[in-house]
Structures are given as C-alpha cells and as structure tokens.
Structure 1
Amino acid sequence: MIKQFVFSLSLLITLAVFAWSVRRLWSFFRLTKPAYPIKNIAARISHTMNVAFGQSKIFRKPVIGFMHAIVFWGFLVITLGSIEIVVDGLTGSERSFVIIGWFYDFVIASGDVFALLIIAFIKIFLLRRMFMKIKRFSGVEMTPKANWDAQISLYFIGFLMVSLLAYNMGYVSNHPNGYDGVYPISATLVHLIGINFGWLQEPGWWIHILLIFCFANYLPYSKHFHVFLSIPNVFLANLAPLTKYPNLASITREVNLMLDPNAAYDDTIEVARFGVKDVQDVSWKNYMDSLSCTQCGRCTDVCPANITGKLLSPRKIFVDLRHRMNEIGPLAVNGKGDEKSLLRDYISEEELWACTTCNACAQECPIDISHPNLIMDMRRYLVMEEAVAPAGLNAMFANIENNGAPWQFSPEDRLKWTE
C-alpha cells in the first residue's frame, strides 16, 4: 500500500507539472495564425507510416540513420513496457500485461534487446558530439546550452535503458523457477555473471519509472521535445508539393474583387499583416515545427547558400522562432509586448534573401519541416509592408510595373528580335 501511495503521488505530480507545461505551450499556440486545413487523412496515415515510423528520410545517412532508427523503434517498444509499469504501480501487481500471451513475450524480449542496443548507440552519439568535429553540429544557433541539452537528453536515455536492464535482471534473479516474459539479454547476463541480482529489482523499477517521469517533464523545455512531437508533426505536414507556396488569403480576396465586376467590397473584414514580422504572424504549424525541430542540422548541411558561406542556416530560422516565442509569449499572453521582433532582432534580411528556395532543406528534414514557407512569408513582409528588397528585385518590380515584364524593354520593342 505504501508503494502504491508513493507511486500514485509521483504520477500525480508528474501529470500536474506536464499539464502546466502543455497549458503554457497552448497559450503560445493561441497567439499564432491558422494554417492549411487538415484533409486526406488516409494519405496522412500512409505518409506518417513511411516517414515517421519507417524513418525513411533518416536512412539517407545509412550508418548513423540506422542507429537513430533503432533508438526510435526501441523507444516505441519500451514505451509499451512503461505503460505496464504504470499499471503495476497503481494496482500493486507485477507483470500485469502477461495475460496477452505471445505478444507480451515478443514485446518484453524486444525491449530487452533494444535496451542493450540503445545503450551502445547512445555511447556512440555522445562520443560523436563530444569529440568529433561534425560540421552540422556547429553554428551560431548551436549555443553551449543547446549542446549541453543534447548531452543531458542522451544521458537520460542511457540511464533509462540501464535501469530497465537492472530491473529485468533483478526480476529474473528473483524467479529462478520461472518468470513471465522473455529476457534474452538480462537472463543471459544473470547466468553468465553467476550472481544473484535480486536486490536490483526494486531500485531498478523505481529508478526507471522516476527517470521516465523526470524526462517527460524535461522534454517540453528541451530540443528533444521531438520525442513527443515528431510523429504528430509528420502527420500534420503539408502534403502539397514542396514548390507550391500558399497564397495570402487577403491578396486572393483582392484579386477576386478586381476580376468580379459584381463583387462588393466588405470593409468589415480586418486587413491582416502581409507576411511575417514576428511570432504572432506565423501559423500554428510554423510554431509546431519550431518545437518539433530535432536541430540535427541535416537541413543546413544540404543548404547551397550555407555551403557557399552565406549567413543562412535553415535550422537557425526555426531555432530563432522558438526562442522568440519563449521571450515574447509570456508577455503577449497578458496583452503586453516589447520593442523586438523575429525579423531583424533574430533573423536578418541577409539570411532571408540568401535562400534560393530550392527546398533541399525541406526535402532532407526527417520530420517534414518546410523552411522555405516561413522564409517566403518573411520576405513577403519585407516587400509588401516595407517595400524592402535587394536592388536587383526592385529593378525587376519596376520593370513589371512599367513594362509588363521583368526586362527593361518597352512592350513595343519586345518582338524586334524577330527582325
């Protein structure tokens, strides 16, 4: 009874803290604008199975992609075992899911094997971050805090797996005449070492579940929040072709008014800002992308602008969006503001105009973030609200206005080449 009480209290505190974090983020989401409608559910499910669960984009880097996929799949399997631990903690039972039979054996055996693999791969990930100078792990957006955040999350995951194996080894040792489930790694270690690890069962159980509770409440403030959001973010991704940029509803409305002689102008509709200047102008999907971003750097790694030494880093765009929302969000929720904005205070004009809109970043992103969509919206603000653009574009705009084409030739002279 004491164990059940302590566990229930721990679970209640965990859920309360997590609910507070979710409520805080929800208040930030309410500051954003609508995005595209969520349609084609069947296509979205298929896409999610391929990209999120199948990890198809991760395998573009085969070796490290395979390791990451194993960690991801292992987490899915071990999560099922964690649900059983929660049920056991609330009811005071042990191995309560054993009634599902062979599938239980499969899940427990898979979790046991995955735990060992994840420990090995986490060590490799840590060594890569600490000692290997991998270019995509650097950049102005990758502050010391971001690097420490990555290492803390990796340690969390590593200790979760160690505690799981310790719990399993203790359970196997305490049931020499037969136990529920299959433990290929834990049982082998117990038999090879030849020591009774029964004393590990209880502390292993507690350490494992408390680490899960702590990790769950650390994630909303970590770059590893993608543990929760990556699958939903892929499901909610824009399924339109990458090169199709959405039109501004206000511009579409104005064009329709000009084309329809019988249309009447509705002056009750509030004129929205053209494009994006600050986080209140982005869509909820843009903000979700910023929370989901794994900061893996694959987008920046393939960006031709970044490769050729320009300031643009696609990853930085969404890291800055998240940081800016964390800064202004608490103020904006209470109707207050500051003198800063996402544009210029966080993201410079030079970064935005360096983008070639080739969509290599969006193609490479393992969780389907569309960087050019946000970049184009910020460009729209510069051009349509402030009339600010590079000299070459301003000349083109003037030519279109005066000559009906981007070139500096009169329409009357356009066919002279035929002579």
Structure 2
Amino acid sequence: MLSLTERLLFILLTVICLTAAAYTFTDMFKIILSGQGQLGMDRAPQRVLAGVKALFSQGRILRRRKITSVFHWLVAYAFIFYGLVNVVDLAKGFTEFDVPGVVGDIYRLIADVLSVAGLTAVVYFIVRRFIVADPHLKTRENVLLHPSARDGIARDSMFVALFILLHLGFRFLGESFHIALHGADVFQPFATAVSTLWTSAGMGPAALEWWVHASWWLALGLILVFIPYFPTTKHAHLFMGPLNFMTRPDRPALGTLDKIDFDDETIEQFGVSTLSDLSQTQILDAFACIMCNRCQDACPAYATGKELSPAALEINKRYYIKENMSGLADGSREQIPLMGMAISESAVWACTSCGACVDVCPVGNEPMF
C-alpha cells in the first residue's frame, strides 16, 4: 500500500493529467461535431451491442494477415483486461483490497498470461515495422500523403508501442518483485519464474519493496501521463473504433452512397470542399483509423497502381487535424480544400465505390463514402 505522501502525489498527478485530457478530448469531439449531420444515435441498444461486439470479437481483424492479426488480438485482449487490472492495482495502492479466493486465483492467472502474451505481441509489432519493414505498412510514392505522415506514422507507432511495452512490462515486473518478497505464486507462473532472478541476485526485502512501489508508479503513472495524448495518437482507435461501430450510418447495402437531392434549391454546395463539409461520421473515421493499411491492400484501384489509397485519405485527414487541432476546435483555423490536401483528383476518379475498403476495415471506417 502507498504511503500518505505517495497517495497525495498520485492524486495531484491524476488531477493534472485528467485536466489536460479534458482539453484534448474536448477539442477532439468539437472537431467531430463540427461536421455535417448527426452521428447515429437511434436504436441505442443495438448500436451499443454493435460497439461491444466489435471491441471483444475483433472479428474484422482476423480476416487478413492471419499471423499479424493473432498478435493484434493478443495485444487487444491484454489491454482490455488491463482495464480491470489497473482498477484493482489502484485499489491495492490506496487500500488493503485484493481479489479474494478462487476468483482472485483466476484473475492473477489471466493477468500473468496476458501480460506475457501482450509483451510478446508488442515485440513482434516493433520487429515487423522497424526491422523487417513490412511493405504492407507503406504507401507508394505516387499516392498523396501528408508531408508529416511518412515519418510521423513510424514515430507514432513507436510511441504507442513503447507505451504498451512499458505499461505492461512494469506491471509484470512489479508482480515479480512482489512474489520475490512474499513467496511463489502458482497462479502467476511467468512472474514467479522472473522472481527467481531477483532472489538469485540477493535482493533484500527493502530493495524488493522499493521496486514494488516503483513498478506500481511507473505502470499507472504512464497511463495518466498518456491519457491527454490519446486524441493525437492512433491509439485513440481503442475507444473511437467501437464508437464508430455504434454511430455509423445505416446503409441498405455495402457501397450505397449518400443521396444528393439536386432538385433542392436551398443547397448551395453539392459534395464537400473542406473538413467541416464532411459528415460527423467521416471526421470520426479519421480519429478511429489505426493506419494498418488493410483498406489499401483491399482496394482494386491501388492494386493496379493508381493514386488511390483509402488509408491515405484517412491518414491525411488525421494529420491535418493533428497539426491544427486547437484552431479547428475553436473555429479560428481557416480550413483548406480537401482536394490536394487529403486526396488527389486522380484518386477520386479512380474509386469504383466497390466498398472493399469498408468491408475490411477493423474499426468500421467508410473511407470513400
């Protein structure tokens, strides 16, 4: 359990980080709500169920890139379960609370296994992007891509990967230090195995207790520090993806375009010109995008060498928003045309409205609609 000083410091850090997060999250939702129309809010139970199903099933992820998808599945479930782990660890830090009995045994076993699974998966993704340099993660030079995106995507990916690696890693190490201090735990086989390193190294009770506290601070402190940055990173897909499934528009069939009433004389502009001309769900798509390029792989126009990449469209929107977030949120930023910023004219004409990008997107985006 934390000392009184530690508790006060943690509360102070929480207030600072959540205050900062309130500003960034408010900006994000202001930008989304600046779009046209409304997010789908009817049939609330069905929509909530769709979001929950998308989050827990990870169904669309497994359609392509089978091996990579399995590793993403491991990271996703580790992070979902860590929502519970973080709450329990927070309670342990401030009280004598622990999950009791058989439920506690099962909880510790799942946390131990998912910690190792998640860490293994993150290492896989780091190797895949930065050592193997998987070509699926790149976009051809003839495709319009925001100047900050080609290098920025890699930096953002490393930032997110290190955050997950350190968050899971310090929590796992904290358990190993705790086990070294209090004895082996059959329901935490991996952490128990690592704990033998500390006992073999001759670490005493005082040192182990210090590391238990340090690991707790680093694991939970990272979460607090990272929260304000969520809207600016692709990690926002954790909650924006399910929200996308909950609020997406109803379409009679895949590939059905929104109707334009050319007889309505009150309409001063057909189609869109700037970001605020897009619908709210189209702006939400940019925040939900995980930048995995699955839609790019599925696009027949991209496969034939044309300038169209559905992924690039969402990425360009996202980087434009990221660089102008405060101005777009308060309306002070003069918007520039989407044509030439988010997509080229040639790419627009290359789209066949086949819906392949929509069908494959794991976060429910509709890039070309």
Normalised TM-score (structure 1) = 0.77
Contact 1:295 1:315 in 2 (8 A): yes
> Within 5 A, what are the aligned runs for 1:176-325?
176=183, 182-191=187-196, 194-195=199-200, 196=203, 197-240=208-251, 241-248=253-260, 251=261, 254=264, 271-325=267-321
51, 54, 67: which one aligns with 2:54: 51
Amino acid in structure 2 at the alignment position of 1:84:
V
Distance 1:209 1:242, change over 3 A: same
The 2-side partners of 1:287 and 1:334 are apart by 16
Structure 2 match to 1:149 = 156
Structure 1 match to 2:77 = 73
Matched, 1:138 2:138: yes
The 2-side partners of 1:191 and 1:330 are apart by 50
Matched, 1:30 2:33: yes
Amino acid in structure 2 at the alignment position of 1:111:
A
More displaced, 322-331 or 147-156?
322-331
More displaced, 341-350 or 62-71?
341-350
Query: How far 1:328 moved relative to its partner?
Result: 5.4
CA RMSD of aligned residues (A): 2.5
Distance 1:88 1:272, change over 3 A: farther
SS in 1 for 2:347: helix
SS in 2 for 1:98: coil
The 2-side partners of 1:36 and 1:19 are apart by 21
- Which structure is higher in RCO with an 8 Å CA cutoff and minimum separation 6? 2
Contact 1:164 1:205 in 2 (8 A): yes
Contact 2:285 2:365 in 1 (8 A): yes
Structure 1 match to 2:368 = 372
The 1-side partners of 2:311 and 2:190 are apart by 39
Matched, 1:129 2:129: yes
> Within 5 A, what are the aligned runs for 1:110-129?
110-129=110-129
Query: How far 1:116 moved relative to its partner?
Result: 1.0
More displaced, 197-206 or 354-363?
197-206
Structure 2 match to 1:409 = none
Moved over 6 A (4+): none
SS in 2 for 1:342: coil
Identical-pair percentage: 23
Distance 1:325 1:153, change over 3 A: closer
Distance 1:103 1:246, change over 3 A: farther
Contact 1:320 1:342 in 2 (8 A): no
329, 342, 346: which one aligns with 1:346: 342
Query: Is there any run of 5+ residues in structure 1 with no aligned partner, and where?
Result: 255-266, 374-419
| Higher Rg of the two aligned structures | 1
Per-residue Cα deviation, 1:126-183 (whole angstroms, up to 9, x for no partner): 111012232221125341121111012111111111101111112222323x88x942
The 1-side partners of 2:165 and 2:324 are apart by 35
More displaced, 211-220 or 163-172?
211-220
Per-residue Cα deviation, 1:352-393 (whole angstroms, up to 9, x for no partner): 1111111111111011101121xxxxxxxxxxxxxxxxxxxx
Amino acid in structure 2 at the alignment position of 1:226:
H
The 2-side partners of 1:218 and 1:333 are apart by 16
Per-residue Cα deviation, 1:328-360 (whole angstroms, up to 9, x for no partner): 554455554547211234322111111111111
Structure 2 match to 1:361 = 357
Query: How far 1:7 moved relative to its partner?
Result: 0.8
Matched positions, count: 351
